[in-house]
Each structure stands twice: as C-alpha cells, then as structure tokens.
Amino acid sequence: MAEAYLINGETGPFEVVIGLEIHAQVISKSKLFSGASTKFGGEPNSQVDFGDAALPGMLPVLNGECVRQAVRSGLALGAVINRRSQFDRKSYFYADLPTGYQISQFFYPIVGEALIDVELEDGEVVQVGLERIHLEQDAGKSVHDLSPNQSYVDLNRAGVALMEIVSKPDMRSPEQAAAYVSALRSILRAIGSCDGNMQEGSLRADVNVSVRRPGEGLGTRCEIKNVNSIRHIQQAIAYEAARHVEAIESGGTIDQETRLFDPDKGETRSLRSKEDAVDYRYFPDPDLPPLILTEEFIEECRQSLPELPRARRIRFEQELGLTPYLARVLTADIDQSDWFETLLNDTAKHQGKAPRDVAERTANWMTGELFGALNKLDLDISESPVSAAQGAELLALMADGTLSGPLAKQVFEIMLETGGNPGDIAEEHGLKQVSDTGALKETIAEVLTTHADKVADYRGGKAKLFGFFVGQVMKASGGKANPAVVNELLKEALAG
Amino acid sequence: MSNLTNLSITAMLSGLGAKDFSARELVQAHVDAVEGARTLNSFITETPEAALAAADAADKAYADGTSGKLAGIPLGIKDNLATKGDRLTAASNILGEFKPPYESFVTNQLKQAGASILGKLNLDEFAMGVSNESSAFGPVVSPWRANGSDDKLVPGGSSGGSAAAVAARIVAGALGTDTGGSIRQPAALSGIVGLKPSYGRCSRWGAVALASSLDHIGPMARTVEDCALLLEVMAGFDANDSTSLDLPVPEWTANLSPDLKGKRVGIPSEYRADGINPEVVAAWDKAADWLRDAGAEIVEISLPHTDAALAAYYVISSAEASSNLSRYDGIRFGLRVQPENGNLDDIYYATRKAGFGPDARRRVLFGTLVLTADFFESHYVRAQKVRTLVIQDFTKAFEACDLLLTPTAPNAAFPLGASASQTDAYLNDMFTIPTSLAGLPAISVPAATNAQGLPLGLQLIGKPLDEQSVLNAGLALQQAAGFDALPERWW
C-alpha cells in the first residue's frame, strides 16, 4: 500500500482532505427545459429559446432524455436511483442567468449515494464515496474581453443540462483526485452521457480542499471553482493545501471562502468570502411537478448500458490474457477500447487465429507504435490516419514474415503520412522482407569476405563481433533481410 | 350604450347568425364605445385595426359557413397575457416597450375561434392589488357611481380594466387572471360574472407569471352562459405548461342547467366574520333561499383554517412572485436604466427601482425575505403546511356538500384612494384566497345592488374539476337574482 500523501509543515505533517463537485454537461440534442440546441460553438445567441431568454410568460418543460442520461449515469456508477425527486430554484442575480434563478435539485436529487473504485497509477484501488447526482441548468457565458468597458452575454449555453456529481470528502491526495476524475470521465464517456471534453467545458470541477493534522477533525475548507483540466486540479490542490498549512503554522486561520485557480501563476485567489456568501433561497419550483421514475423506465435505462470500463478491463485480463497494465491502458477511454477490439478481431481473422492468441502482440503494437505516433502528431484515436483494418493488415504481414519489425516500422510511417494500405506500400516501396535463404547466403558470403579479418577475430574468441556481422548483412540487404534467418545462416557460416 | 353593445355574447352570436347585423358593425360599435370611454382608463393599448380585420374575417366565415365559436365577438385581454406584436406591460414601467414575439395559449384559442380583440386591458401592476390603483398607467375608474355621488370608484382588482370594460359595455367579454381573487372580486365590485376555473384548466403559457402555483386565467362577462362559452374556448391541455391538466375540455355550455335538485350547498361558518358589510350578508342569506328554491339542500359546514389562509397566501404568493419577477432586470428586454460608469449591479438597482411601483417592490422584498435561510422554515415551509390544511378543509367539507356559497368581497366598490391600510386591502380577498390556495373552481355572480345602487356579488365554489356544478349553480343564482342594474353612463 502506497504511503499516505502528507504535507510536511514546520510543526509536523498535515493530511489533505479533498471533495469534488463535478459538473458534467449531458449529451442530449436539446436543453434541460427547452428545445433549443445544445451544439457547442454556435454563433452567439443563436441557440436561445424564448424560455432560455426568460421572456415574460415562458415556462420550463422537462427534457426526458436528460433524465434518462442522469439515471444511466447513476446506474453505471452503481448509485441509488431516487424514484422521486424534484426541481428547486436556486436564486441569484447575474447577467448570464436570465431568469434570476437556476433550476436545480437541492432537496431531493435524482441519484443518491454510491461507492466508486478508483485505481491509481501503481494499481492500488481506493474507494471514493459519491454523495449524490442532480440535474441542473447551465448558465450562459459572460464575455469580458471584447471591449474595455462593456461585457457581453452569450446565452447559447444557458439552460443546457448538467449533472452535478458530488463526491464525499474521501480523497487524500492530488493523485487520488486526478484518478477519481479520470475514472468518472471514463465511465460517462463509455455510456455516452457526457463527452468529458474539459477544454470545451463539458466537464468542470469545483474542488474543495482543507487540511488537518492526522487524527484531527475536518479543517476549514475552501472551494476552488471551475477548474477545467485534471492537471490544474492537481496543481490547485497542491497549492491550496500548502497555503492552508502555511496559514495555520504562522498562527493564522483559514477563512471559508470561494476561490479561483489561475493556471498561469499556479495559484488560487479569493473570489468571495463567507460574509459575501450568497443565500440562494432554494425553494421547490412551482412550475414543475415532482419527477417520478417507474421501475420500467429504470430497467430500460439499465438495459441500454454498454459494457463498462471496469468490466471490460477484467474481460481483457481474463479472456484475452492481457497484462493488468495493458488492460488498464486500453480500457481507460471508450474510443480507444472500441478501436482495440476492432483491431483485435480483424487481426485474429487475418491470421486465422483466436483473439486470445494474438491479443498481446496486438495490444503491444497499439500501445507502443500507434499511441506513440498519435501522441507525436497530437491526434485522438478518432483522428488516426491509420484505420483498425489497416493496423490488422500490418500485423498480419509481420506475423507471416513479409515484414520484419524494422520494415514494419517503415511501412507504418508511410501509412501515417499517406493513409495507404500496408500491403500496397510494401509492394510499391519494395519493403518486403528477404527470407530467401539463397539470396541471404550470398549476401552473407560477401560480407564475410569483405571483413575476413573480423571473421578471424570472431573465430578467435571475440563473440561480440556477431552483432557487427548481423549489422553489415542488414545494411547490405537494405534492412530487408529477415533477422531470424540471417542469425541462423550467419551462425552456420561463421562456424566454418 | 347602443343596442349592439348591450348584448350578451350569446345574443351577439345569435344576431350574427341571423344576419341581424354584421361582425363589422358589431365590432365598430365597440371600437367607438372604447374610444368614448377613455376616461375610465380601462385600456392600456387599443388595437382597433386588428379588431376590425378580425371582424371582416368573421363576416367572410359566416358567409361561407366556417365561422368559429366566437367569430366576430369583441373581447378585451388583460395586459398580463401576451398577444403577438402588441405591447405587453403588466401595467408596469419595467416592461418598457416590450412586444412579445409569441401569442399566449389562451388568446390564441380565442383568435382561432374568430374572436375580435379590441386591445389590452389595464390592471394592478403585475396583477397585485384589489383596486387597480397601482397601475403605472393610472388607475381604472369604475363605470359605476353611488347614487347621487360624483365620487370616482374602484372597479376592484387586479383585473380592474377587464371588469370596468365589461361593465361599461365597451367589450362583450374579457380575460382576467386570478391569483388571490383578481377575477372574482372585481367582477363582484363591477356587477358582472367572473369565473376562476380549476388550477391547470387554462394554460399559463404566455401569461406574465405572478405566483406560479396560484395563477389562474379565466373569463369575465355579463352572464354565466357567456363565461361558460369563453372558458370552453380558452381551456385545454398545453404541453408547453408543465402544470397544464391533460384532460379533455368538458362541454360546459351544452350541460348548463339551473336545476340544483340533489345538490347540497354548504355555508362556511367561519366566513361570517366581523367587518362584512351587512348588505353583503343580507344578499348572502337571500341567495341561500334562491338556491334552495332551485332544488338544493343548504347545509352549514366548517373551514377551520380560514384565518391562517390569508397569511399563508401572502407568504407563498410573495415568495413565488419575488422569484418570478427576478427576470425583470434591464438586461435582455424592457426598461434599462444604465447609470453612467455603472456596472451590472448598478443596472439592476437603477432599473428595478425605476421600473417597479411601491406595491410591487414591497411584495418582492417580502417574498425575498421569507425565502431567506432565517425565515424559510418559519415562514415559507410553514405556509405550505397551512396550505395543505386549507386543502384538507375543503376536501372534508366536500364530503358534506357539493358546492359552497359565500360572499365574494366583504364590501361594495369603494372610492379611489380610500384603501386605508395594506391590511384592509388584503381583507378584500379574504373570501377568495382560500379557493386559490386549493385551486378550486369558483364563480362570482352579481346578486343585488346595495342601498347606494352599487353591485354586490356572491361566490360559488366547487369541487376540483367540477366547473359544471359551479356554472349550474351560478346560472340558478343569476336567474333568481334577476340582476339587471346598469351603470348609468357618465363618461
């Protein structure tokens, strides 16, 4: 078990206590209470219904698809589904909140408690408690940098459905928080209830941080709002915890307040103190009746769930025989795991073998070669210039000896550039492996003749020179010689 | 009043069908009447061209046999219901020159049936009030005057413009809204019929929200039959209103009957309070006799939580109103007051201060207060519990009877400027508020005139969704009372 994460202050060690409120934008065609589109990146104020603009006399109508997505998410996380929930108004004044209140769920949320298994880098599993999930409206966007003395408001986002996923304060390190967010993101993406795109803001975190000496009760916490990348979450926690420790050790106190993280400075700064805290005056929204879920509806939601990341990972390990590391890497993201399964099935078919028999090779190629290339090109798997079918063909060419490892690498480079098929490329560029023993014997003979002195040294005991000969043969063959065959023939030839 | 303006809607439809007059003539007579009654200040916006265009369309429809249920009937719409392209004010400055790009569900129903809309009628600001004196566009003056007096009287509120226009015979009927009594009380004070249907019977989509769980839209006209017809046309399920009842609209007109045999009418003992004008009490007692003559059995029943209902209503309605009025902030539509070098908060303060009248501001402040952390449990939650008790009172009472007979208002119309204190004004709604809390159907029917010649109204309350019994009893009352007093034209 890994060591506990502690901050070593001057007066002793401090524990960090972390809770996260994740806002996940629901995948749905229209908004939570209106029919306007939820598409990202539209022209400002082009996706705004009369109700979104809070014109007089407009009323909310609940979008059933958003309810379905919330229930599916709750089921995927193993949470309690509340048969009865209601919508409440959360009131405050701001320009991007047209009605002057956000429709949310305060008293009775749609999803209740859960316990989520979160795997850390080293394989250790920690359990993080989920408090609740509720549905609520997103606000619009305020734009302050278009003009020196005016602010603008874009209401496209106003009313889009969010799931607010509230954890219990169970995390104890930035790493745990990061792993929790990754796990959550992975599951929501796998079931298609949220695309988890943090740059576009479909997944945001409010981070609650406090510190305490081991054994003490909870310290005063601060909330850091709207942190939009996993890296920033870790940085914010580290900075904030250190700030708390410093304040406490210098004899001061921590004020309960809301803060913002500045990614450029790597610091948090105060946004709002407790005195300025807003009283949201929650009360049940009288325009909306309570939400009652039937057993049939919940069952339908359950049936609609695909294989979840954890189940898939276990299957990869047990049925395909992949190492825990490979299984974990390949199931971290739904797009990648889907791509892998397609690749695996095609590869198995090409080679007339069972998937289990080719799984490890396939997984190694994908996580090594393919991921390496995609990282360099800064592309997602969904943007890969090489398709799974082409990958399968490449692997087949390696398996049947047409391509050696190094040749395959060359072919792969060209595939990345041109998007062409490996067979065609090998043909065109003459990159096929030479395994013809006759031809290779000739090449070997030439090499040994050219380097007769080294041959003598080798036979005299310098065994290391074998590698030199291999290199020379490969060079002479333009890298196409089949290394295994070369090895064998060279051994024979050198033995005299 | 010309012969064309002093007709019931039923009579107008009959006349139009018999070609006694054209829709154009009918509507023109009302357009002229509206113009001649400007001193009453019952209209905020007049729409004579659109009205006449609708009349012409109605005439065409009558000619080719495609006329709707209200073809050519001249109506007025309370100005808290959106009509597309017409200024919508809610009698407040804060809406500025706002013109909605949408038509409310109920007015669309009327227009589809061929009705001719003469304009938008005055009201208390945001429908808060009992005398139509808080309008940013000036008070409405009742067409009624006490015998031998020139004093200007109130028409009641908040649907004061609607009541005055119907009573003055410048519209055949009007739409009003009723949150605590704002259709029924002005109907009583103005000698006309006002109907508040069951909650959810009429869609609130397009109605400026005051208190969402208490707002009702309903018809105001000179006869019970007219109200039944108007309600039939405007009611119905609307998917855009999540509180709209998904039930077919009953055929109230076809089933109208003044025969109350087998019906039990309850008289709530708690409503015999001090402070009710004795003439109102006398009319109430008389009406019980009339209903008995029509076949009903009269019984005494109890509504024990009547006292608490008033306070609960003001807490709940103010809380919901404070929330519903947050959207009037000067940002996206309506009035904006932008102080020089001001920031967002400055716009809010300046706009809402300039835009809301004192009554509206008071209500918003109180409503905000009862929702704050310190008062939420003791005021809002408690009021909701009282509301449940009030509903239970009615449910229990309706085991012993089918209808309740009560006064509508504790007094007749009073002079402009006479509402002494806020609490006095609130008492004007004491008989109507409990029914609003419970969402029950209720009607006010003119029953008599007092010694000063001013109308007195009585209220009939029915079981949930039983508008039919309410209308039937209302018809019995109307026939027995034979109320035929007319405001003498002084304008």
In angstroms, rounded to a whole number, what is the distance separating the alpha carbons of residues A439 and A442? Answer: 5
B243 Cα to chain A: minimum distance (Å): 6
Q: Is there a contact between A24 and A194 (Cβ–Cβ < 8 Å)?
A: yes
Contacts 24+ apart (CB under 8 A), A278-281: A278/A92, A279/B372, A279/B373, A280/A90, A280/A91, A280/A92, A281/A89, A281/A90, A281/A91, A281/B323, A281/B368, A281/B371, A281/B372, A281/B373, A281/B376
Per-residue pLDDT for A1 more than 70? no
Q: Is A438 on the interface with B (CB under 8 A)?
A: no
DSSP-assigned letter for residue B121: E
| ipTM for this model | 0.96
Q: What is the CA radius of gyration of chain A?
A: 30
Tell me if B242 and A289 make a contact (CB, 8 A cut-off): yes
| Spatial separation of the C-alpha atoms in residues A340 and A323, rounded to whole Å | 15
Evaluate whether B85 touches B127 at the Cβ level (below 8 Å). Answer: no
Local confidence band at A149 (pLDDT 50, 70, 90 cut-offs): confident
- Classify residue A135 as exposed, middle or buried by CB count within 10 Å of its CB (0-12, 13-18, 19+): buried
- Are B141 and B128 in contact by the 8 Å Cβ rule? The answer is no
**Mean pLDDT, rounded, for A325-333:** 89
Asked if B329 and A281 come within 8 Å (Cβ–Cβ), the reply is no
Would you call B323 and A100 a contact, using CB atoms and an 8 Å cutoff? yes
Task: Give A7's strand partners.
Answer: A14
**A-contacting residues in B 285-324 (Cβ below 8 Å):** 319-320, 323
The pLDDT of residue B216: 98
List residues bridging with A111 in a β-sheet.
A81, A133
Looking at beta carbons, which residues of chain A come within 8 Å of B205? 57-59
Long-range contacts of B375-381 (CB under 8 A, 24+ apart): B376/A281, B376/A283, B379/B315, B380/A283, B380/B315, B380/B316, B380/B319
Quote the mean pLDDT of chain A.
93
- Euclidean distance between CA atoms B470 and B472, whole angstroms: 5
Residue numbers in A near B387 (CB within 8 A) = none
pLDDT of residue A402: 85
B100 interfaces chain A, CB cutoff of 8 Å? yes
**pLDDT recorded at residue B421:** 54
Measured CA distances, A409 to A129, A361, A369, B183 (Å): 46, 15, 8, 83
Closest CA–CA distance from residue A109 to any residue of chain B (Å): 19
Residues 6+ apart with CB under 8 A from B12: B26, B72, B73, B172
Mutate to test the interface with A, among B125, B205, B331 (most CBs of A within 10 A): B331
Whole-number Cα distances in Å, A200 to A60, A261, B149: 26, 17, 72
- Judged by a CB distance cut-off of 8 A, whether residue A143 touches chain B is no
Q: What is the pLDDT of residue A2?
A: 58
A121 pLDDT higher than 90: no
State what percent of residues in chain A have pLDDT above 90. Answer: 71
Best mutation target, B205, B346, B356, B437, to test chain A (most A CBs within 10 A): B205
The dihedral region occupied by B268, where left means phi > 0, alpha psi between -120 and 50, and beta the remainder, is beta
Chains A and B form CB pairs within 8 A to the count of 92
CA B305 to chain centre: 25
Active site residues of B: 78, 158, 182
Contact B13, B73 (CB under 8 A): yes
Question: Comparing B160 with A402, which gets the higher pLDDT?
Answer: B160
> Looking at residue B426, what is its pLDDT?
64
Indicate the pLDDT class of residue A496, thresholds 50, 70 and 90: low
Is the Cβ pair B320, A286 closer than 8 Å? yes
Query: DSSP secondary-structure letter at B84?
Result: T
Portion 32-61 of A in contact with B at CB < 8 A: 50, 53-61
The identity of residue B473, as a single letter, is: A
With CA atoms as reference, report the closest residue to A408 among A424, A388, A426. A426
Chain A CB contacts of B107 under 8 Å are none
Contact B326 A100 (CB under 8 A): yes
Q: Do A56 and B376 touch (CB under 8 A)?
A: no
Query: Closest Cα partner for B115 from B31, B180, B27, B216?
Result: B27
Residues B432, B370: Cα–Cα separation, whole Å: 23
Report residue A34 CA to chain centroid gap: 30
Least confident range from A266-275, A279-288, A372-381, B107-116: namely: A266-275
pLDDT, averaged per 10 consecutive residues of chain B (491 residues), comes to 88 97 98 98 98 98 97 98 98 98 98 98 96 96 96 96 98 98 97 98 98 98 98 98 98 97 96 86 96 97 94 97 98 96 94 97 97 97 98 98 96 84 67 97 97 97 98 98 96 94
**B32 DSSP assignment:** H
Place of tokens 């966007």: A141
- Smallest CA–CA separation between A253 and chain B, in Å? 26
CB–CB contact A57 B327 (8 Å)? no
Q: What is the 3-state secondary structure (H, E, C) of chain A?
A: CCCCCEEEECCEEEEEEEEEEEEEECCCCECCCCCCECCCCCCCCCCCCCCCCCCCCCCCCCCHHHHHHHHHHHHHCCCCECCEECCEEEECCCCCCCCCEEEECCCCCCECCEEEEEECCCCCEEEEEEEEEEEEECCCEEECCCCCCCCEEECCCCCCEEEEEEECCCECCHHHHHHHHHHHHHHHHHHCCCCCCCCCCCEEEEEEEEEECCCCCCCCCEEEEEECCHHHHHHHHHHHHHHHHHHHHCCCCCCCEEEEEECCCCEEEEEEECCCCCCCCCEECCCCCCEECCHHHHHHHHHCCCCCHHHHHHHHHHCCCCCHHHHHHHHCCHHHHHHHHHHHHHHHHHHCCCHHHHHHHHHHHHHHHHHHHHHHHCCCHHHCCCCHHHHHHHHHHHHCCCCCHHHHHHHHHHHHHHCCCHHHHHHHCCCCCECCHHHHHHHHHHHHHHCHHHHHHHHCCCCCHHHHHHHHHHHHCCCCECHHHHHHHHHHHHHC
Q: Which residue shows structure tokens 């059995």? A: B297
Which pLDDT belongs to residue B424? 62
Judge: A283–B376 Cβ closer than 8 Å, yes or no.
Answer: yes
- How many Cα atoms within 13 Å fall on the side-chain side of residue A342? 13
Whole-number pLDDT of residue B1: 53
Q: What is the pLDDT of residue A407?
A: 85
Whole-number Å distance between alpha carbons of A180 and A178: 5
B90, B216 Cβ separation under 8 angstroms:
no
For B278-345, give the DSSP string: HHHHHHHHHHHHHHHHTTPEEEEE--TTHHHHHHHHHHHHHHHHHHHTTT-SSSSSS-----TT--HH
